[in-house]
Amino acid sequence: MLEKDCREATNPVCGASKVDKTLRDEVSVAHSCRTRSLAVLRSRDFYLFYILVSLFGMCTLIYYFGELIDFTGWEALHQGFFYGVHDIQRLFFLAPIIYASYIYRVKGAVIVTVAAFIAFLPRALTLSPFPDPVLRIVLFIVIEGSLGVLTGMVRNESERRSQLEALTRSERDRFLGMLERMEEGVIIAGPDYRIRFTNTSMVREFGEGIGSHCYQYLHNFDSPCDQICQLPKVIDGATERWEYSFLDGRTYEIIASPFVDSDGVVCQLATFRNITQRKQVELELIELNKLKSELLSNVSHELRSPLTSIKGIISGFLQKDIEWDDETREMLLTGISEETDRLASLVTNLLNMSKLEAGVWKPAKERCHVSDTINDTLEQQKWLHQKHTFETDLEPDLPEIYADYNQIKQVLINLLENAVAYSEEGTRIVVRARAVDGEVEVSLSDQGVGIPPEDRERIFDKFYRGNQTRQRPGGTGLGLAICQALVLAHGGRIWAESEVGHGSTFYFRLPAAQPSN
Ligand code: ADP
């Protein structure tokens, strides 16, 4: 290290650069000092202080002006005011004291008052011609100082208040900002029912409303509605929660609580959560539960009645003392067969529905002809329902469909069973198929009781059953729901047309198979 310093000292080039560096440092330090000093001199604080010092200086100058005139001999300026009215001159000091209290509050007032006292002293002690000069200046100082301190305190208080107001305002803005971002609608209404705030969600749901009355904004009423309005209770400090359905069908969950606005007025802050969908789902669930319990009693009845018939017939056969002729025996056996079919159909529908709901009954699609499926199904159904006439009208050269043969067969079976169940014996059931707009349309027409218009929308709902009388016992309200689920799973659609008393036609369309299938 020592060696390095020596080398640098003996090296003229190195020494010069070191001197340069030191010089540069000094210049930059001087520069930064100057900049800082200028900044201080130009600062607002310095100006305020400068004004205070000037005021104080001027007052002191006026106070001692008489002595200055005597000292300098400016006879022209020799005026009684500068010699006699010291009390008024002392009053001038109120200006710097009040000014200091305004700028620097109580502390400033005290310091300037002490300074004024010191300024008063020489004249009072040495020059004053009046009696008790110290007592007089103390009196002045106490009055002026008290006025200064009072001004400082008032100024402190007003500043504290304005700071508090600013804080409250900024807190309100922050709070309203939070409310603004809320997903629920938010509305703040004053005790006069006037709306002070609505957030974006509220505006989206009900439109702009600030300034209008809440009863007008929300309900289009001319005056507050006592039955709905909770505002008076909320203003009194209660938190209220209720649900309200508007005339247009929207339902809201409303929670209202008191809110003190920045002006100190107690208002009502209410949040509006749109629960229309939830309510609908709840209603649907209630309806579904009702239907399910109806189904349970229905299903148990449907299961029991064929079983009772079968059991009755078998018990009859088991009685050894009864001789059955061939005709009666055949009739009874046909009865067992029909009741067994009823049971099988019921159980199949229940199983199919639960498989569909569990998502395990996926269509195993392959290219097939819908005419084959129709013919196979009819072959089987004709045999089961011999008292109805079945006809087909199938367009030749129908395009192939890409479908699950068994599932489409199930759709046809359900529709055919309904056609049989809701039409009298001896009537005609016609199955048609045609190609329309790249789809294959299948229709089943019966000459039965028909479906009332109010039922047509709902017959495809699960467990929904109309009031029409079935010609045959049975029915669970699942047949058409299964048909719809299966047709939808094939990318098709299903619907019904009907005339009460003249029969019904059920249609379903399936997309024709594509070359890629
Ligand atoms: P269900 O087991 O009651 O027949 P579905 O789901 O098969 O149940 O049918 C639902 C309802 O649709 C039936 O209760 C009935 O009111 C009506 N319906 C179905 N098919 C016909 C039809 N061919 N003629 C008249 N009404 C029908």
Nearest-angstrom CA–CA distance, 64 and 126: 12
Whether residue 503 has its Cβ less than 6 Å from ligand 1: no
Q: pLDDT tens digits, residue range 16-58?
A: 566 677 777 887 887 787 788 777 767 888 899 999 999 999 9
Mutation test residue for ligand 1: of 447, 455, 459, the one with most atoms within 8 Å of CB: 459
Whether residue 419 has its Cβ less than 6 Å from ligand 1: yes
pTM of the model: 0.48
Nearest-angstrom CA–CA distance, 226 and 229: 5
Which of 2-6, 268-272, 344-348 has the highest average model confidence (pLDDT)? 268-272
What's the distance, CA 394 to chain centroid? 55
Compute the 3-state secondary structure of the chain and give helix, strand, coil in percent, each to the nearest 5: 60, 15, 25
Ligand 1, atom 8, residue with closest C-alpha: 477
pLDDT at 216: 93
pLDDT at 13: 46
On whether the CB atoms of residues 299 and 463 are closer than 8 A, the answer is: no
Residue 507 bridge partners (DSSP): 443, 495
In ligand 1, the atom with minimum distance to the C-alpha of 506 is 23
pLDDT at 508: 97
- Return the HEC string of 76-96: HHCCCHHHHCHHHHHHCCHHH
Asked if residue 427 has pLDDT above 60, the reply is yes
Whether residue 412 has its Cβ less than 6 Å from ligand 1: no
Nearest-angstrom CA–CA distance, 366 and 378: 21
